[in-house]
A and B are shown apart, each in its own frame.
Chain A
Amino acid sequence: MPAPSPAEQFATLERQGATLRFGMWLFLTSELLLFSGFFALYGAYRATYSADFQAALHHNTLAYGSVNTYVLLTSSFTVALSVSAIRRGAGKAASAWLGLSALFGLAFLVIKAAEYGVHIHEGALPGHWYRFREAPTLGGARFYTLYWITTGAHALHVTGGIGVLLWLAWHARRGRYLPEYHPTFEMGTLYWHFVDVMWIFIWPIFYLT
């Protein structure tokens, strides 16, 4: 497949690729600020209900959350390996790595769903549905409300990310990405890594300390 020519507003293909990646980085800053709202709410409520938050935290499902941390970190690694494969020109290998990453993503969602099941069973639900007896009521309700909306928003991003990975895998398999020019591929992988970065911060504040 011959190298494509740049769109009319770009002088060179390198510049077009760099612009596409830069655009993706800007989009990710925007996404980061979206999650910052959750973190700000968490910070403020933790400042208000410090002891309650720690009590609620120690009743949270640590095992599920921690396994998910390792799952997501590993999926990021396999996504990175798919970029290596694309740079070698091995579209099929890249596709396989992405397929594996998407499976990790799916595993994350399955574990998350099982974890939500535990919460529903315990009554650790948001807002006025909160019935969890083992954590203090006021701070606990705040904690689990934030927990649900934050991890829920994150799970939506994981779902979208799996779609992106599968889309990339499909096109990589058909040899759509050149070893020297594949900005779209990198943009998709950036999105997945970003989802991982968000979990890196969600994990300690809702499960660890």
Chain B
Amino acid sequence: MIAVKLEPEPMALPPDYLHAKQGPMSWLTTTDHKRIALMFYGAVLVMFLLGGVFALLFRTELLSPRRDIMDATTYNKLFTWHGIVMVWLFLIPSIPNIFGNFILPLQLGARDLAFPRLNLASFYVYLVGATIVLSGLFAGGTDTGWTFYMPYSENTPVTLFPVVFGIFVVGISSIFTGLNFIATVHMLRAEGMTWRRLPLFTWSIYATSIILVLATPVLGLSLILVGLDHVFHLGVFDPATGGDPVLFQHLFWFYSHPAVYIMILPAMGVISEVVPTFAHRRPSSYAAIALSSLGIAFGGFLAWGHHMFVAGISTLDAGVFGIFSMFVAVFSAIKVFTWVATLYRGDIVFSTPLLYFFGFLFLFVFGGMTGVAVATQSLDVHWHDTYFIVAHFHFIMVGGSLTSFLAAAHYWFPKMFGRLYSERVGLLAASLVFMGFVLTFLPQFLLGNAGMPRRYYSYPAEYQWLHVLSTGGSYLLGSAVLLALGNLALALAYGARSEQNPWEARTFEWLSPSPPPEHNFESPPVIDREPYAFDLSEEQIRARAFPG
């Protein structure tokens, strides 16, 4: 054991969580939610870069209509790998496991999560699952697309079982984390922290956790059944023995549609913190944002069938699902209007996280509105399985979640590391991310509408100029993301020391020093106010939180 416990000197502040204990073992065996969050940060960023490299490789192949650098099978594998890595190993764990883990107990005024050892277990289970998935992929596996549709998944000659089993294992990690967050929000709120005083990020993580706990097991089951079908030909979904492949899609999307909200709800939580902080104004309706998070979580469970309009499901069922899907859009719209109304007459400070919000606003509204369009059966028949759908969900997933992920990485950077990043480079990177993104995916809307189907490595020559634009955009997007992350990495070593609350935010995580000490607060805070009290001064909020 290399860990050495440093005794704090009398009258000095306790050391922060980064320095409270030393040595690699103190990290690997830690149960501190902040350190576990950082370990997730590292692992998830590796997955993100890996998924990005896969995307850039097949975008390069698409520069010309012919075969250039890879054959069809390699192309199929690469877009599958991109999807699997990005969805399950990056987007699902990204904001909840990094920022949720770090920030949620601080926002609640708690000393840690309810089950710290379960939290550490969640990290290691994630690592094991990710290792199984990646080794399955690199051992020549899986060209099915990230959706594993039957009956192709039963018959594909490549390896499949390690990949689906690895995703099952990663799912266990998700369940652990979601369970931990729900128990923490219910049981570990500081004195005076009523439900109406929960910060909005905590509300959205709470709603996300409900989905994680209740939807993930269905995914696990459906993937295990696919794996068994593939290996043992159980024929659960095999039409040759009277099975129904559409039922696989039912089970798969029962998870994977709510999974979209696992990715976007935390993003909305980040936005709901960034906007009031940099507008210095309380959200124009706290209840609207908080309750719409729950509305999205529950509504999202009833919308899964809209992925199957052209799969042969009954018209009645499809109609029911189409209507439920549009309900979800109502809740999302409530949030968008509330954020924009919060900016109105605010004392706006233009900063990197806020710039990401502006990008988010455009991309999310655009992606969301096309979502309502494809929730209409008659339109979906034209657009389904074309680049239109690809562009639509990348607008939500990348445009929504990735921009918010970067916003969160900048917004909480001083909190996590006690340093400030370069604002100018941050603003430049945020603008470039936005431009790169639009350049990548706007042409794909046009391609899809013109009839370009997804998942083909060659195409008629008249589509080429749009593909070239899209590939160029993807290079720009990749470089911009590297610039943003590089800026943060440099700030880690060379950034100026930050004050405790550099953005003058009012939520409770800023009541503790930045970076926080090992036990989060010097003494447990008392909460006697709503989380966005911008009428109170910094001294006032501290005096009220720590009386005496």
Contact = CB atoms under 8 A, between A and B. Distances in A.
Direct contact of A and B (CB under 8 A): yes
Question: 7 tightest A-B contacts by CB?
Answer: A127-B235, A34-B217, A138-B242, A37-B221, A19-B187, A9-B112, A127-B234
A23 B242 contact: no
Interface in A12-42: 15, 18-19, 22-23, 26-27, 29-31, 33-34, 36-38, 40-41
Contact of A8 (B215, B220, B519): B519
Contacts of B183: 19, 22-23, 26
B112 A38 contact: no
A104 B188 CA distance: 39
B236 A30 contact: no
Contacts of B187: 10, 15, 18-19, 22
A40 B182 CA distance: 26
Given A26-B213, A30-B216, A128-B235, A8 B111 contact: yes
Given A23-B114, A38-B221, A145-B235, 8 more contacts: A9-B188, A22-B186, A37-B218, A40-B250, A40-B254, A45-B247, A126-B234, A149-B225
Contacts of B218: 33-34, 36-37
Nearest to B238: A127
Given A19-B114, A22-B187, A23-B114, A141 B241 contact: yes
B235 A141 contact: yes
A21 to B, nearest CB: 10
Given A15-B187, A33-B215, A127-B234, A9 B244 contact: no
A128 to B, nearest CB: 6
Contacts of A44: 244, 247, 250
15 contacts: A8-B519, A10-B187, A19-B183, A26-B179, A26-B182, A26-B183, A26-B213, A30-B213, A30-B214, A30-B217, A38-B221, A40-B247, A127-B235, A128-B235, A141-B241
B222 interface: yes
A139 interface: yes
B112 to A, nearest CB: 4
Contacts of A130: 241
A128 B112 CA distance: 52
A41 B182 contact: no
A100 B238 CA distance: 43
Interface residues of A, number: 37
B485 interface: no
A3 B281 CA distance: 48
A127 B236 contact: yes
A84 interface: no
Interface string B168-193: 00000001000110110011100000
A49 interface: yes
Interface in B463-514: none
A149 B250 contact: no
A44 B113 CA distance: 40
Contacts of B233: 127-128
B114 A149 contact: no
| Majority-rule SS of B interface residues | helix
A48 interface: yes
Nearest to B182: A26
B243 interface: yes
Contacts of A142: 241-243
Interface residues of B, number: 43
Given A26-B213, A44-B247, A128-B235, A37 B222 contact: yes
A149 B236 contact: yes
Nearest to B237: A41
B175 A30 contact: yes
B167 interface: no
Contact of B242 (A8, A26, A27, A141): A141
B404 to A, nearest CB: 26
A4 B182 CA distance: 25
Interface string B239-251: 0111110010011
Nearest to B213: A30
B116 interface: yes
Contacts of B112: 8-9
Contacts of A30: 175, 179, 213-214, 216-217
B216 to A, nearest CB: 7
Residue in A10, A15, A19, A30 whose Cβ sees the most chain B Cβ within 10 Å: A30
A27 B215 contact: no
Contacts of B234: 126-127, 145, 149
A48 B244 contact: yes
B36 interface: no
Contacts of A31: 217
Contacts of B251: 37, 40-41
Contacts of B235: 126-128, 141, 145
Contacts of A49: 242
Contacts of A38: 221
B248 to A, nearest CB: 9
B115 interface: yes
Nearest to A138: B242
B120 interface: no
B110 interface: yes
A51 to B, nearest CB: 13
A149 B234 CA distance: 9
A154 to B, nearest CB: 13
Interface in A154-183: none
A27 B180 CA distance: 10
Residue in B220, B228, B235 whose Cβ sees the most chain A Cβ within 10 Å: B235
A126 B180 CA distance: 38
Nearest to B111: A9
Interface in B507-530: 519
B316 to A, nearest CB: 13
Nearest to A142: B242
B35 to A, nearest CB: 15
A149 B220 CA distance: 14
A36 B240 CA distance: 25
Nearest to A49: B242
Interface string A106-150: 000000000000000000001110100000011101100110010
A48 B114 CA distance: 46
A18 B234 CA distance: 42
Interface in B185-235: 186-188, 213-218, 220-222, 225, 228, 232-235
